[in-house]
């Protein structure tokens, strides 16, 4: 266990009962000497199960609340040093049918988090984003892009208060709630064909442990205003399906509302303000009135987009099968 800025600190995780939130709690308890972790979420049943899983660890605190409620946020943020913002509505097709609900949570809720963190004297805030926020074509992606902009822009007026904000953007998390792997495994066990929305589809690949480590490392290195993107491999959906169930029949069922054929994490237009570091990209803020200093690194070639179909690194069918075996 090495030194960490999180040692002896108080941390709050919004949406802390989700897949990444839970994995983050495991990581912080085992790899840092964190003093206190507050779980802020709105689902009492998930909190109940998570409390049982962590055997009522004395370092954990449990807050029922919604990021739509600024007063509850301020109460939960008392004496908190660092915030991981993971709370969001995430289902793409649900967002198409319930757009205002996604705006209330992902956009207005994010602004509530920003204001409450500044007012409570939080030191650093890292917000979790998604590949769907780059060149968005669905409502979910549009709300997450808006939230990204809110967190980066917050540094313009928060810097004098001592609170800094940055964003982490990554792709599909394998092994998280909503991952397609358990769904494919269930169908395979029942001897049924596997539905594929489009046989040409590609996605970025990151394990939940890699995602957690990337988030924590980003919080530790941030100065405020950065959007961090990990260098991760891509996969073909047909390779994933065949890795789960070799020889299974694949049925093309058509793309769902708001779904992309290929995902993107950095657009071609954002390339000119992107720096390449070891294992990550750093997208710098568009407007940085607070005196942002760019990290030293390679400039990303102008006009180059970081997309799942043109990625340099790929997971083979064998790589995917090995991952599933180990997890």
> Do residues 265 and 234 touch, judged by C-beta distance below 8 A?
no
Q: Residues with catalytic annotation?
A: 132
Sign of the four-CA dihedral 135, 307, 88, 11: negative
Residue corresponding to tokens 């987009």: 305
Q: How many CB atoms lie within 10 A of CB 79?
A: 12
**Cα–Cα distance, 208 to 272 (Å, whole number):** 30
**Cα–Cα distance, 202 to 182 (Å, whole number):** 18
Name which of 71, 14, 20 is nearest 43 in CA terms. Answer: 14
Please state, in angstroms and as integers, the Cα–Cα distance from residue 82 to each residue in 16, 38, 51, 155, following that order. 14, 10, 21, 15
Q: 3-state DSSP call for residue 55? A: coil
Name which of 270, 264, 313 is nearest 149 in CA terms. Answer: 270
Contacts of 243 (CB under 8 A, 6+ apart): 317, 318, 320, 321, 324
Give the DSSP letter of residue 160: G
**Cα–Cα distance, 211 to 131 (Å, whole number):** 13
């Amino acid at each position: 266990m090495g030194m960490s800025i999180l040692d002896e600190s108080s941390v709050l995780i919004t949406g802390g009962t989700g897949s990444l939130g839970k994995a983050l709690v495991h990581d912080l308890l085992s790899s840092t000497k964190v003093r206190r972790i507050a779980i802020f979420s709105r689902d009492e049943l998930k909190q109940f199960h998570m409390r049982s899983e962590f055997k009522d660890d004395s370092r954990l605190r449990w807050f029922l609340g919604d990021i739509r409620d600024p007063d509850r946020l301020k109460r939960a943020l008392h004496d908190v040093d660092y915030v991981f913002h993971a709370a969001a509505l995430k289902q793409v097709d649900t967002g198409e049918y319930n757009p205002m609900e996604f705006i209330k949570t992902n956009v207005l809720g994010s602004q509530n988090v920003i204001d409450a963190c500044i007012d409570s004297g939080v030191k650093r805030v890292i917000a979790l984003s998604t590949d769907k926020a780059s060149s968005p074509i669905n409502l979910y992606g549009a709300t997450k892009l808006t939230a990204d902009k809110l967190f980066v822009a917050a540094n313009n007026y928060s810097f004098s208060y001592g609170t800094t904000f940055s964003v982490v953007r990554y792709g599909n998390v394998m092994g998280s709630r909503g991952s397609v792997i358990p769904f494919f495994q269930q169908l395979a066990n029942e001897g049924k064909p596997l539905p594929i929305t489009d046989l040409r589809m590609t996605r970025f690949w990151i394990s939940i442990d890699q995602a957690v480590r990337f988030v924590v490392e980003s919080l530790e290195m941030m100065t405020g205003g950065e959007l961090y993107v990990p260098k991760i491999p891509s996969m073909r959906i047909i390779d994933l399906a065949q890795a789960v169930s070799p020889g299974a029949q694949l049925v093309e069922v058509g793309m769902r509302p708001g779904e992309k054929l290929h995902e993107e994490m950095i657009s071609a237009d954002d390339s000119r303000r992107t720096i390449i570091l070891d294992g990550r990209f750093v997208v710098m803020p568009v407007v940085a009135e607070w005196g942002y200093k760019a990290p030293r690194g390679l400039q990303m070639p102008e006009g180059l987009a970081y997309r799942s179909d043109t990625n340099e690194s790929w997971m083979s069918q064998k790589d995917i099968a090995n991952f599933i075996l180990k997890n």
